[in-house]
Structure 1
Amino acid sequence: MGFNVLSLVLSVVAVAASTWGVRLQISRARADSDLAMTTDLILTHVRDPQFQRDQLWVLNGLSAEHGPENGLEGLPEPANLRAWNVGIVYETVSIMLRFELTNPVILMSLAQHRIVKTWEALEPYVAVERERRGRVVFPFFEDAYVAAKAADPSLLYASLGLRKADGSPRVPDGRAGGAPWRAPGRGRGIGGRRSSPTRPTRLTRRRTPGF
């Protein structure tokens, strides 16, 4: 009887150890994948000179040159191509954020300001395009805008122990309604329940000025 109990205990321990080892390997593979996809997105797409020119034009020139009454597709060339280029890149970034195909905290830290400003520049044109098409255009980009608008980066910076130039620690600025950035579960989006700003080791798994 004692031998059978001991065998059972050893079997359970062996299964638990094997399961833990598999989960550790999956976690490491996932971290490597996150880093690779984030790096590819930044170096291959975001840092592309044409995208940078198009983005600056959307932010500073689009509304001055063309009204939103014809939507995106109705803009004359090359304005429509430039606006679509920027919108599609941000839609792709936002899909990666929503489904956690890349590290969401790093990517939101990198892109929060430009997600907000670019969506606000394109939104009147997107609204008309949606009406013309009878379907939603750039839904993931809009979702990322909501998350970026609500997020308070100072909470993240404080939780990670980032310091100012004089060596003093950064502290939350107490912006009303601000929320931390949290790594979501797949499909739950930025702000999901999986992690907490008081546990920075979860966040570190996860601003070039140009983005």
Structure 2
Amino acid sequence: MRGVEEAQCGIYRAVVDASTLVNVVAIAVSLLALGLSTTLAIRQVRISRHANHVPAVLALLTEFRSVDFHDRHDFVTARLATTHDPRLGLSGLPDDARRAALDVAYYYQMFWTMIMLGILDEQAVTLMLRLRVMLVWEALAPYVHREREINPVGAHLLAGLEAWAAKAAVITPEAVDRFYRVHGPRTSS
């Protein structure tokens, strides 16, 4: 009788071991599927988030292509200081000069905002626009500082542009050259 009981126990253990093995495999497959689904969901969220930003980036780039923008940019960086006293601040400038100054300043500040929101890559955009950002801030800084003094709500006026220009100023021209060597146009051999 004892032999029969031992045989039954052995069969029971084999069934339990096989059942446990099937359960462990099923759990492992389930965890793998869960991990894969989570990874794909996270990737999809990132893709859709970036896809939602494409129109805003394209609008900025479209503005950059316009002759009017470049005319305003040239006015701000080359002629504003020679034609209008910085003691006027921004709000005291004549309409055309004020419009040009604000359009150009907020254009670059919008890039900075997109960088801060994680929409654009800070290093790439800063390296590409470095000199322009520095020139615009250099031209507008006296007007902005004066505006901050005379306008009670202007304490942080264009602070993003100012911060970005400071970051851009510490980047060397060699770093810009390295960036363009790596990310510049590819030539076919």
Q: TM-score, structure 2 length as denominator?
A: 0.75
1:84-99 equivalence runs, <5 A? 84-99=102-117
| Structure with the larger helix share | 2
1:1-211 equivalence runs, <5 A? 1-33=20-52, 35-43=54-62, 45-134=63-152, 135-152=155-172, 154-155=174-175, 158=178, 162=182
Residue pair 1:34, 1:103 contacting (<8 A) in 2 also:
no
Q: Take 2:165 and 2:176, find their aligned partners in 1: how far apart are those partners?
A: 18
Aligned residue pair count: 165
Max Rg structure? 2
Structure 1 range deviating more: 125-134 or 145-154: 145-154
SS in 2 for 1:55: helix
Q: Take 2:48 and 2:177, find their aligned partners in 1: how far apart are those partners?
A: 26
Structure 1 range deviating more: 96-105 or 29-38: 29-38
Residue pair 2:60, 2:107 contacting (<8 A) in 1 also:
no
Residue pair 1:98, 1:140 contacting (<8 A) in 2 also:
no
Q: Take 1:128 and 1:72, find their aligned partners in 2: how far apart are those partners?
A: 8
Q: Which amino acid aligns with 1:3?
A: V
Q: Report the CA distance between 1:159 and its aligned residue.
A: 6.3
Q: Take 2:90 and 2:81, find their aligned partners in 1: how far apart are those partners?
A: 12
Query: Any gaps of 5 or more consecutive residues in structure 2?
Result: 1-19
Q: TM-score, structure 1 length as denominator?
A: 0.68
RMSD: 2.7
Q: Report the CA distance between 1:13 and its aligned residue.
A: 0.6
Q: Which amino acid aligns with 1:7?
A: A
Residue pair 1:109, 1:153 contacting (<8 A) in 2 also:
no
Q: Take 1:13 and 1:156, find their aligned partners in 2: how far apart are those partners?
A: 44
Q: Take 1:161 and 1:38, find their aligned partners in 2: how far apart are those partners?
A: 24
